[in-house]
Structure 1
Amino acid sequence: MQVPAQFEYQRATSVEHAIALLNRHGPESRVVAGGHSLIPMMKLRLAQPEMLIDINDLTELAELHFQEGTLRLGALLRHADLLASPEVGLLCPMLHDAERVIADPVVRNRGTVGGSVCQADPSEDLSGAFCALRAVAVIRGCSNAGEAYTRTVPMREFFTGPYQTVVADAELLVELQVPIFPDAGSAYVKVDRRSGDWAVAAAAAVVRFDGDTVTDVGIGLTAVGARNFVALEAEEYLRGRAARAEHFAEAGRIAAEHCSPADDQRGPADYKRHLAGELTARALERAVARAGRGVKWRSR
């Protein structure tokens, strides 16, 4: 029987209280919300926090708003609630694509958006999606002098390595802000071994146009060793080009060339690199189709 090491537990009553607890107990404290990543790691003793700070009562962090061209997602928003939102499906269908393939209903009912990105698992679905969308993380904290502050970090700078983020010991991710553009299309596509499993490879794309010319593009890659979950070179190639299937295929080739997948139980690196290229092209094509552009593309 797997049992966590001994720990203390306290339930936060406000964001300020949670941050004060983090500040008081230091790096040996951990925040728990859904717990689907942290608790299994504690059972295996891969994580041994001395203090668990439960933030499930902080309902102000579970809200979803669309305000002045920005979709604002509270860090405590459950996956199921994000998936159930018709506004999100219309404004940013990529997020619904990603949420549909995250684990199973049990996990989606308890797991949180903020918890997923803070886990920073290289195979986690939302990380690549938020990076493609150029979302911004809102982080609150407390200085050594006891002064409260709020800072914002682009999601493309949020991840510092596998299972590592810029969120410091006495800080709390409180919100994710996603810019929404009416002329954009977005999509997320994934290959996994079983439905709801971690990705073998996945790609996210958001595309904007002027006529039939790509004016801006975001491409996120999951589980293939892309730096900061982004296919930057493929984005640079596509920007200013016509929205054509051959250009999307070339963008996929470039994305595959610049990622660094690893051999593991989900497949060999060469297979994952091939998937990165194919899925990048497919996500771009689907995003363009959703934006109402008449781009002719082959089925994959």
Structure 2
Amino acid sequence: MYETSYHRAGSVAEATSLMAKADDGKFLSGGQTLIPTMKQRLAAPSDLIDLRNIEEMKGISEDGASVTVGAATSHYDVATSDGVKRLIPGLASLAAGIGDPAVRHMGTIGGSIANNDPAADYPSGLVALGATVNTNKRSLAAEDFFTGMFETALEEDEIVTSVVFPIPQKSAYAKYPNPASRYAMAGVFVAKAKDGSVRVAVTGAGQDGVFRVSEMESALSGNWSHDAVAGISISSADLLSDIHGSAEYRANLVTVMAKRAVAAAG
């Protein structure tokens, strides 16, 4: 690992000020991807600005129509939150399946979505639930926030501060995890909003990261049943293919995981 200067920010304002002074700074919010990358000498930021101890970015609240999760909230806290389990069970289940206990206690929702790993779980939950990502500068719809593999709409000095999730009628997540990393080889989040609209979002399978499956959404809008998606196949043309699974294999997994997710949602 190359030499770097570590800073523990106490507020969003302090974090942005530290970033402005850094030659080549990086925000740190759990470090489950950045730290291993630095250990492999694939990244060498001059400064690390740690966001995990900023109190204004922590915690989970609800207001009757939505659940707001602070960006510095750990996966463990999302998974074990009584409010999340009661109102958005699919999101709690998603968080409970991330990595292992060490990862869930250290990793944060803000760090995960800002990194936008194509095999990460949260992007599918945000897109399927129609979430809004709040930063220190603006608010973005989830589908506008995720722009491609490891890419987001964030500017260099922009910090994710919270994520707002509308409370759905139904929600569930199912994934086929890589046995070693528990990253999704294909993960499908299904959500039925209070107005009856349906969203189906897939992670782990697309070359450009998270994507929606309109055919499944249409089918489920007319018949909320795992049978409605059982016969729907997606094209493998734009799917990932690697040592863990071919594009064709992942295409099949998407259908299987969609069926499981709908069944789990009830």
Match of 1:248 among 218, 229, 239: 229
Distance in 2 between the 1:97 and 1:218 partners? Answer: 17
Within 2, Cα distance between the matches of 1:64 and 1:51?
A: 29
Q: Does 1:198 align with 2:183?
A: yes
Contact 2:118 2:208 in 1 (8 A): no
- 223-232 or 111-120, which deviates more: 223-232
Q: Choose which of 13, 18, 22 in structure 2 pairs with 1:25.
A: 22
Report the equivalent of 2:93: 97
**Per-residue Cα deviation, 1:241-264 (whole angstroms, up to 9, x for no partner):** 1324442224x42xx227722221
Q: CA distance change for structure 1 residues 157 and 259 in 2, over 3 Å: closer, same or farther?
A: farther
Letter in 2 for 1:20: S
1:268 Cα deviation after fit: 1.3
Q: In structure 2, the residue corresponding to 1:108 is in which secondary structure?
A: helix
Moved more, 151-160 or 230-239: 230-239
> TM-score w.r.t. structure 2 length?
0.92
The alignment-based identity, stated in percent, is 29
Give the Cα separation in 2 of the matches to 1:63 and 1:32.
18
Distance in 2 of aligned mates of 1:129 and 1:259: 23
Question: Paired residue for 2:164, among 173, 177, 193?
Answer: 177
Residue 278 in structure 1 maps to residue 256 in structure 2: yes
Q: Which amino acid aligns with 1:13?
A: G
Tell me how far apart the structure 2 counterparts of residues 187 and 57 of structure 1 sit (CA, whole Å): 30
Q: How big is each residue's C-alpha offset from its partner over 1:107-164, in whole Å with a ceiling of 9 and x where there is no partner?
A: 1111111111111100001111111111110011xxxxxxxxx310011111121111
Question: For residues 58 and 262 of structure 1, what CA distance do their matches in structure 2 show?
Answer: 36
Residue 9 of structure 2 corresponds to: 12
Distance 1:169 1:33 in 2: 15
Q: Distance in 1 between matches of 2:210 and 2:229?
A: 18
Q: Deviations over 1:185-237 (max 9, x none)?
A: 11100112327611111111012478xxxx31111101111756132422552
- Partner of 2:91, secondary structure, is helix
Structure-1 separation of matches of 2:193 and 2:58:
30
| Unaligned ranges ≥5, structure 1 | 141-149, 290-300
Q: Check conservation: 2:68, 2:162, Cα contact below 8 A.
A: yes
The one-letter code matched in structure 1 to 2:7 is Q
User: Which region of structure 1 is more displaced relative to structure 2, 277-286 or 38-47?
Assistant: 277-286
Residue 230 of structure 1 corresponds to: 211
Indicate conservation of the 8 Å contact 1:22/1:171, yes or no.
Answer: no
- Following superposition, the deviation at residue 57 of structure 1 comes to 2.3
The Cα RMSD (Å) is 2.0
Take 1:136 and 1:264, find their aligned partners in 2: how far apart are those partners?
32
Change (3 A) 1:275 1:232: closer
Name 1:120's counterpart in structure 2: 116
SS of residue in 1 equivalent to 2:126: helix
CA contact (8 A) 1:231 1:258 kept: no
Letter matched to residue 48 of structure 2: L
Cα 1:119–1:22 change in 2 (3 A) is same
If the length of structure 1 is used for normalisation, what is the TM-score? Answer: 0.82
Change (3 A) 1:57 1:19: same
CA distance in 2 between counterparts of 1:242 and 1:226 reads: 30
Query: Which range moves more in the overlay, 38-47 or 187-196?
Result: 187-196
Q: In 1, Cα distance between the equivalents of 2:212 and 2:135?
A: 25
Q: Are the aligned partners of 2:134 and 2:161 in contact in 1 as well (CA < 8 Å)?
A: yes
| 1:155 pairs with one of 142, 157, 169 | 142
CA spacing shift, 1:187–1:245, aligned 2, 3 Å: closer
Q: 2: distance between equivalents of 1:277 and 1:193? A: 17
Number of aligned positions between the proteins: 266
Following superposition, the deviation at residue 284 of structure 1 comes to 2.3
